[in-house]
Chains A and B, each alone.
Chain A
């Protein structure tokens, strides 16, 4: 036992959890913790310009590294500024621990200065919330917070720390283990379910594998490819699953969903769907009641509440994706051998479907269109680079045209669809992987939501490349108004303001404006090598649509291919 303050115990506990970087911005209610950080040498603190960015950076860090990301803010407005980032992490099951200051315990409930009911606000958007009321609880709370955030289905956890709890001294004991009687993530698949799944997959004529974000969280990449190759089943991904199989793998047919491509056609022909680590979001399935009605569905997820939530599973398997895939593969190999599985008809059919759709995704030669820009980016980015996107057309163009070649190769706000996520998340990813080039593919609207943190990127020396697809509009909203509201453009024009080159330069970053594809190639090549952040302002046509798409309320069969 060691005597120290709660604040000191917090920092000590973070270090014991292996934390090396914290993203945050101080204020009155968290001063005791910041006082400890002042002398801290092992723990890097990155000062943001808006707390939302601290949360997104921690999230981006977590997604790129697989480790828990940590963000910090003061009480009241500091904490409420975190909420968008926390909700984003929650929807995409990202392990983040948020630490907020709170007014002293004696003041809680008195509407004190900068008091907000942060536990009340955060409860529905976190996996768990803590508000320790005595200093000696801090080491246990931190241990439990990291354990909950990173195990089972990962997610954000809040630690709300009243100021007196940070200040008081106590004899601290740092536990090695956690005791959480109500929290036991189930990892091992049920053998009977595994048997049933294997049998169904062997008997299937047209199996399809749908890979979601759970594959990445479980690290089941090898297992995914192994089972696909064994079954000779095409793999499609959800938005969150993009990159879990390298998209140049011959069995990968790309993304499924509202802005999926040919994979939507292929999945509709399947007789058995092996869905791994997906939650069947409505953006993936289209209308629930007409999602592949003829197919039998095997649903693997670590969160039992996802089973039968949106889509009924014929064979549910509540387990870790990696363990489940391994078990199913072993079981298949127990029953039959690889040479007995012949799917040449099906594979031929898939290849034909893919070939036939190719024309739709081609770009008109040489023009500065979003798809052309994204394809150039792919060509110029090393295989292992990280692409982060904002939200809107930029995100969906990248979903269709950017081939992700490694697990964290495409980082995006899928569930919440948070504009402003991309830029700070790209900086978080860069901190996690300083060795890799990191690019934020932005829309002009999204970038303006968090661009103030260009300051952070310069001051803290976190060089990333921001490619702004500048169409002068809230493009995705404009597209919907164009297609479904008779071109009545209501409040979507941004006016091509500001001048992004000057904006970048005002922060000490580099800015380049490009108006043709050759200039883009040059600017992008330079940006990837630059040791400060570069903003490339790419002027594109505001009328361009992201196609194909599934119309709202439609099913996967209702794809619109052309305007």
Chain B
């Protein structure tokens, strides 16, 4: 059982996201994240999912999704040949000026940005792969995380390779 990234290019129409999530629920597939957004073509949207399962399950997920009429194309992204990004927003408790300067330098190391500051908290934005995001969250725990939001990953294949379209 491992995590796989599946990208769906779908018609940008009402109800498509419902169909996809409903299918995943009904067939008992496991997804740990799903993100939706527009593409270079205004009529199309891209849905990126992280699915957990063995090879047979992933093959089924892809083929069942492909059957949805509004799904134009399903591809599997190979992590080593893809650019994978996730956005994190985290609100951290700032107890004193020592904590403040530590958090600022961690944020710099992670090439994040401080997007909001108040007397006792800061909101930090970090993008990157899931490992990087996880590492940053771990570091922030010692200061006290007040709120946290992750977008779930979105991904593109590098160059010409990486994305394996299913016929």
Contact = CB atoms under 8 A, between A and B. Distances in A.
A148 B69 contact: yes
Contacts of A304: 63, 66, 167
A183 B66 contact: no
Contacts of B71: 182
A123 interface: yes
A309 B60 contact: yes
Nearest to B166: A304
Contacts of A127: 69
B134 interface: no
A335 interface: no
Nearest to A304: B63
B154 to A, nearest CB: 21
A468 B70 CA distance: 45
Contacts of A303: 67
B69 A128 contact: yes
Interface string A116-144: 00011001100111010000000000000
A182 B68 contact: yes
Contacts of B22: 123-124
B19 A305 contact: no
Interface residues of A, number: 20
B64 A305 contact: yes
Centre residue among A123, A129, A148 by max chain B CB count within 10 A: A123
A148 B69 CA distance: 9
A304 B67 CA distance: 9
Interface in B41-94: 56, 59-60, 63-64, 66-73
A308 B11 CA distance: 28
Given A124-B22, A180-B69, A308 B56 contact: yes
Interface string A308-326: 1100000000000000000
Contacts of B67: 303, 305
A183 to B, nearest CB: 5
A533 to B, nearest CB: 39
Interface string A172-184: 0000000011110
Nearest to B25: A124
A357 B68 CA distance: 45
B161 interface: no
Contact of A120 (B11, B18, B68): B18
Contacts of A309: 60
Given A304-B63, A305-B66, A182 B18 contact: no
B10 interface: yes
A182 B11 contact: yes
Interface string B1-41: 00000000011000100110011001000000000000000
Interface in A320-343: none
Nearest to A181: B72
Nearest to A186: B167
A308 B60 CA distance: 8
A124 B26 contact: yes
Contacts of B68: 182
Nearest to A125: B26
Given A123-B19, A308-B56, A309-B60, A181 B11 contact: yes
Contacts of B70: 182
A149 B10 CA distance: 20
A45 to B, nearest CB: 28
Interface in A166-194: 180-183, 186
Contacts of A186: 167
Centre residue among A148, A181, A308 by max chain B CB count within 10 A: A181
A305 B69 contact: no
Nearest to B10: A182
A482 B10 CA distance: 52
Interface string A96-124: 00000000000000000000000110011
A123 B71 CA distance: 15
A308 B59 contact: yes
A131 B13 CA distance: 12
A305 B56 CA distance: 11
Contacts of A131: 15
Nearest to A152: B67
A182 B73 CA distance: 7
A129 B19 CA distance: 10
B15 A305 contact: no
Nearest to B65: A305
A305 B60 contact: yes
Contacts of B167: 186, 304
A332 B67 CA distance: 32
A343 B26 CA distance: 45
Given A119-B15, A124-B22, A305 B72 contact: no
Interface string A293-310: 000000000011101110
A154 B15 CA distance: 22
A128 B23 CA distance: 12
Given A181-B72, A183-B69, A305 B18 contact: no
Contacts of A120: 18
Interface in B71-126: 71-73
14 contacts: A119-B15, A120-B18, A123-B19, A123-B22, A124-B22, A131-B15, A182-B10, A182-B68, A182-B70, A182-B71, A182-B72, A305-B60, A305-B67, A309-B60
**Interface pairs A-B: 4 shortest CB-CB:** A305-B63, A182-B72, A128-B69, A183-B69
Given A123-B18, A308-B60, 11 more contacts: A120-B18, A127-B69, A129-B15, A180-B69, A182-B71, A182-B72, A183-B69, A305-B60, A305-B63, A305-B64, A305-B67
